[in-house]
Copies of this chain bind each other. A is one copy, B any other.
Amino acid sequence: MIKAFLGISVAAILQSGAVRSPEISTDRHVTFRIQAPNAQAVTVSGEFMRGSKPLERDARGVWSVTLGPVEPEIYNYTFTVDGVKMIDPNNPNVKTGSTPSTIASVLEVRGDQPAFYDNQPVPHGEVHTHLYESKSLKMNRRLTVYTPAGYAQNAQTRYPVLYLFHGANADENAWIQLGHANLILDNLLAAGNAKPFIVVMPFGYGILPGAPGQDPAAGFAPSDLLFSRDLLEDVIPFIDAQYRVLKDRDHRAIAGLSMGGGQSLKIGLNHLELFSYVGGFSAALTGVALPETFGSFMTDAQASNRKLHVLWFGVGSDDPFLGVNQAFANFLETGKIQYVFRKSDGAHTWMVWRRYLNEFAPLLFQ
């Protein structure tokens, strides 16, 4: 996904090799191609459509199909060649993460106007990558941090912080590479639609599922517990020491998507001494026992409402987590907790999460 940052669409201009894929026409039809002379069947599937479409073979053994017009967006897609799922070998724009299930090719379709997540000619923040020592997990871990435009120049200014978590199978770069969080915040800040703040993006697994010594049936819970310890005992102290941040609860927000949304809601709502803005994007609340998980925060709703400047969570109408998010809203309702529940179009995809960040960020630190 790094290509999006070069200010030129590499996929669009690249013509090396005999086969060009994806090729985007001026009217936003997209042609996918792959050279596979010995294949019996090739299909493409992606976030721009439901199901899959067959490609057709030409005399040279190049398979192709043209789809569209496709709405301007950033989409994942894969080919399936004789039953083997694979990325588009002619597209350098590859989505990667922490597990193989996340690997896909990326199609960026541009509109006539730049999108809210595009690299626009505005002042840009900076993305920092650290290796920090996690004493709680006994390892060096990588941490991604965004500082807004002006951070280096305004050397006396302290900034609020958003802790922002990725989903399952992704990693600490996902909110930059796939979420364009830096570009979204650059654009909001330039338009005067958000306050300047720092974003901290840790690696969301305490330990990956299936790691040695971990019960494969135990799911994410042990990982979440370790992640929470690392966040509270290592990441936040590291940020407080390394960056010019405001260290009080009024200037700390916490949010995440999917697995990270479950984490941000659980950690945030149980640590209102640390956070006053809490967000969940398509939060993976499946299997979460609501009274046990959020009981202590609910016992004094008036006090919690006073402390919580914003509790915002959203989910798409085609997202499998719609039901658990609705149940969470109902649970908060019965407990008289104030919240914003944003039901939007869309499924469990980065298209939705980019938009949610664009909606959530303007609410912070106002």
Q: Which residues of A contact B (CB under 8 A)?
A: 2-3, 5-8, 10, 13-17, 34-40, 81-92, 94, 96-103, 119, 121, 124, 126-133, 139-142, 152, 171, 173, 176, 203, 207-212, 216, 242
A209 — which chain B residues lie within 8 A by C-beta?
Answer: 16
Give the number of copies in the complex.
2
Say yes or no: B102 contacts A92, CB within 8 Å: yes
Neighbouring B residues of A142 by C-beta, 8 Å: 2, 5-7
Residue of A35, A126, A152, A209 with most partner-chain B CB within 10 A: A126
Instruction: Return the contact of A141 from the options B6, B14, B82 (Cβ within 8 A).
Output: B6
Q: How far is the CA of A128 from the CA of B141 in the complex (A)?
A: 16
A131 touches B103 (CB 8 A): no
Residues of B within 8 A of A130 (CB): 124, 126-127
Interface of A, secondary structure class, is: loop
A3-B97 Cα distance, complex, nearest whole Å: 8
Question: With A and B bound together, what is the CA distance between A173 and B152 in angstroms?
Answer: 22
Known: A7-B141, A82-B38, A92-B99. A129 touches B126 (CB 8 A): yes
Within the complex, which residue of B85, B87, B173 is in contact with A103, where a contact is CB–CB below 8 Å?
A: B87
In the complex, what's the smallest C-beta–C-beta distance from A322 to chain B, in angstroms? 25
* A103→B89 contact, CB < 8 A: yes
List residues of chain B with CB within 8 A of the CB of A34. Answer: 84
